Structure 1
Amino acid sequence: MNKKVLFLFISLISIKSVLAQDTFNAMFYNLLNFPSQTVPANRINHLSIILTDYQPDLFMVCELNNETGANSIINMMQQDINPNYAMAGFKLNTSDDAIGNQNDLQNLIFFNSEKFSLESQVIIPTLYRDFNHYRLKLNTVGQENTPLFLDVIVGHLKASNGIENQELRLQMVQDLDTYLNALPEDNHILLAGDFNLYRSSELAFQELINSENHITFIDPANKIGSWHNNTDFIDVFTQSTRTTTGMGGATGGFDDRFDFILTSESMDNTTGTNEDLFFVADSYQVFGNNANVNCYNQDITSNNCAEDNNPNTEDFSLDIREALYNFSDHLPVTLQIQANQQFLSVPEYTTSNYYEIIGTNVISNTLSLQTNNQLFANKNLNIFNTLGQLVKIIPLNNTETHQIDVSYLSNGLYYITTPNFNVEPLKFVKVN
């Protein structure tokens, strides 16, 4: 394989980035009793691989046990991905737990403070477990005159099948509806959680999508039906990643859609009428799910769960699926949101100097980078995929040469650029 030196030129002229600045990535993840579930060891390292790959701007979670776990996650995100991550205030469950002790299962959000500021957070009690409401303001160029707000609600409905559990889930949703009746009906709302629903006909789900409600939710995946054990919905299955016992959580293999990101109708722009803040069409995805029908009832690490050569779906590598397998019995759900304003831009850098990446632009494991350490010390490079998703942040230290591990990235084309300067992105191809 021929080697070539790839130059990334820092121009005096502001070059418009090829990557959109008005779209952000949202992810919801059931953390499986984190950090109390201690098998396998060092689960935080597996979470780091997952989050470094997807780079969520908004990370919504349930089954977080305690503030110690929350702090370990935010510290990892700041150190491994982006120092600008922040988290909302950690709150213990306040709802009546007479049905079962739920005070060790909390909800929380983590967010990119360059893109959002936390305006408020409210606990929404139900008969069983809290919902948590976080109001975020987008840090956009028009925020003084035309501010954009996003209401994020995270929940975890009662688990298990059966009429009694279905009724408990319905009552929890009805408690949420009572709270939502006090909000303006045009608010932009994300509702994320582990809803433990087996089919869309269940009354709890029907209540959420009821068009007569003050606020009606929709499914951005547009996958309404009977999900349980139905391979027609394999692409939205989120549980279980495992058939093996001894790791906590469910072990039934891949056969259920329990995890969701729903949006209020005000975030649906399919008719072109809701243009200020809306979900990107066809961006709903279960992270780690290769939509391979052979994965039914399998471990997510099985060869049966590998990519199925469908050009319309993203391929998730074995390395990513192993990290997901080891961290939780659930897969995360992701969604991209687009705003009609750009996020506040970063300062423009005015110099004609350059730095260079030395090595082949067809890379399997390691990207070799050489920089002017006086100019770029303690700054970052970013790697984006072709969807414009930030997949890795490379912190630059005081040395001139850097060896960057990209072995865990999925095969495909990537762009290298920096958040601190206006630059023309550099391309490389990741292969096995």
Structure 2
Amino acid sequence: MIKKLLLFVFTCVLSISSAFGQADFKLMFYNVLNFPLENAVPNRINDLEFILEDYRPDIFMVCELNNISGAMTILSTLQNINPDYQSATFTLNTSDDNIGNQNDLQQFIYFDSTKFILESQNVVTTLFRDFNHYQLKINSVEQVTTPIIIDFFVCHLKASSGTSNQQSRLAMVEDLFNYIDTLPTGSNIVLAGDFNVYTNSEPAFQKLIDPTNSIVLIDPADRIGSWHNNSNYVDVMTQSTRTQTGLGGTTGGFDDRFDFIMTSENMTTNPNLSFIAGSYDVYGNNENTDCYNQSINSFDCSGTDFSFATRDALHNFSDHLPVTLELQTNQSLSIPEFNTSEMITILGSNVIDNTLKIQVDLRLQNELELYIFNSLGQVVKTVDVNNTLISIDASRISNGIYYITSSKFQFKPLKFVVNH
């Protein structure tokens, strides 16, 4: 009888895992405002850690990174949150060699190494600043037979208004597409950056969304228009977070959409890899029209999505807001198998009345979702792990034997008994 019950439970675990045979990924791009050389605001790295701790991106892309010291400081900050974060190899910009070789503004990428594998990296040179190309593979169970590769491009187009600057941005984008034309037509492309465009009619942006491109790019937010000084587009505005001078960067308040995450058109509905509809967001933007021309930490920018503490950290760290997007795949991640005696434990007796207490390893906090199922294999409760000590209300669960497992991490189910 016991052997049959164990076999039945094992079958239930497999069926529950297969039902959740997909994975979601959180992307973030952020203009980090001359980090770390810009020091008008002291201890800015603490504000960045607050932001990253809250959002926990699986892919973190940046521009305006000054040097390798800053790159390693951000990596260390990420690893304080999750030790599985890794980065690409830091390389200096070369495109400006003929105009001064300042090398003070770089792009870079960080990633959760349990979910992605860095396959290669390259630079696309232009007349002004490199595009950085990072090719990552999803660390899935099917990666040998059916690998999913994503081509991430991180950029920072020429800033400022005026015809000559518009033409510089166009020339940079044309160099990018000369490179993209060498990629397979079915490539999964994510282009993230500070585009510095004021309107969709700019030649550079028109080239980005040109339907005759070998690989067509789209705006997942589906909010293309004349953004500059137009409060109708406040929901996608990213700059400037400040009205106060003396903090570094640009002032003037919230009135521009400069920062983007775009994808190739094939990622609209492809079951192997697509962006999640409605997931594009400007982190810290409460979509409040009163926020137009205001500082992001003002009362005028308040709302239900992002607290004052979050908006204040964003205000202090950079004159831009990050943009975010979520991707999904129908493949299963090649997830590590943990020893539950070390990672997840039931505190006290596993025979309970109304409350089950669980201790979770710090490394799994905010990374884990638990499922409680009965001996029939039915899920009776889902628990988000947002702390290392979890109290689960079992007062409405009927007497019987229950098991705890997860679709994200493999471990032998934890057994407990409810006896009111």
Report the TM-score, using the length of structure 2 for normalisation.
Answer: 0.81
Q: Which residue of 1 aligns with 2:143?
A: 143
Q: Which residue of 2 aligns with 1:388?
A: none
Q: Which residue of 1 aligns with 2:376?
A: none
Amino acid at match of 2:347: Y
Equivalent residues of 1:48, 1:76 under 8 A apart:
yes
Distance 1:97 1:254 in 2: 34
Equivalent residues of 2:193, 2:259 under 8 A apart:
yes
Q: 1:423 to 1:320 in 2, by over 3 A?
A: farther
Distance 2:362 2:259 in 1: 38
Q: Which residue of 1 aligns with 2:302?
A: 306
Q: Which residue of 2 aligns with 1:110?
A: 110
Percentage of pairs with the same residue: 53
Distance 1:28 1:294 in 2: 25
Distance 2:328 2:219 in 1: 17
Q: Which residue of 2 aligns with 1:340?
A: 330
Shift of 1:381: 2.7
Secondary structure, aligned partner of 1:179:
helix
Aligned: 1:293 with 2:289: yes
Q: Which residue of 1 aligns with 2:365?
A: 381
Query: Larger C-alpha radius of gyration, 1 or 2?
Result: 2
User: Which residues of structure 2 form unaligned runs of 5+?
Assistant: 1-8, 349-355, 370-383, 391-404, 415-420
Distance 2:92 2:27 in 1: 23
Amino acid at match of 1:14: V
> How many residues of Structure 1 are paired with residues of Structure 2 in the alignment?
365
Distance 1:371 1:276 in 2: 35
More helix by share: 2
Ranked by relative contact order (alpha carbons within 8 Å, sequence separation 6 or more), the top structure is 1
Shift of 1:235: 0.5
Shift of 1:355: 3.0
Report the TM-score, using the length of structure 1 for normalisation.
Answer: 0.78
Equivalent residues of 1:28, 1:261 under 8 A apart:
yes
Secondary structure, aligned partner of 1:382:
coil
Distance 2:248 2:191 in 1: 26
Shift of 1:41: 0.9
Matches within 5 A, 1:37-48: 37-48=38-49
Matches within 5 A, 1:11-160: 14=13, 16=16, 21-79=22-80, 81-99=81-99, 102-160=102-160
Aligned: 1:284 with 2:280: yes
Provide, for residues 241-295 of structure 1, a one-character-per-residue CA deviation record: whole Å limited to 9, x for no partner.
00011111100100000000011112111xxxx2211111110000000000000
Q: 1:295 to 1:392 in 2, by over 3 A?
A: farther
Amino acid at match of 1:47: L
Q: Which residue of 1 aligns with 2:315?
A: 325
Secondary structure, aligned partner of 2:347:
strand
Amino acid at match of 1:67: I
Equivalent residues of 1:52, 1:392 under 8 A apart:
no
Distance 2:82 2:160 in 1: 37
Aligned-pair RMSD on alpha carbons?
Answer: 2.8
Aligned: 1:197 with 2:197: yes
Aligned: 1:275 with 2:265: no
Matches within 5 A, 1:361-376: none
Aligned: 1:216 with 2:212: no
Q: 1:329 to 1:100 in 2, by over 3 A?
A: farther
Q: Which residue of 2 aligns with 1:354?
A: 346
Amino acid at match of 1:134: Y
Provide, for residues 17-71 of structure 1, a one-character-per-residue CA deviation record: whole Å limited to 9, x for no partner.
7988511000000000000001211111100000111110000000000000011
Equivalent residues of 1:14, 1:348 under 8 A apart:
no
Distance 2:201 2:362 in 1: 53
Secondary structure, aligned partner of 1:77:
helix
Distance 1:76 1:127 in 2: 33
Equivalent residues of 1:97, 1:129 under 8 A apart:
no
Equivalent residues of 1:107, 1:132 under 8 A apart:
yes
Secondary structure, aligned partner of 2:293:
coil
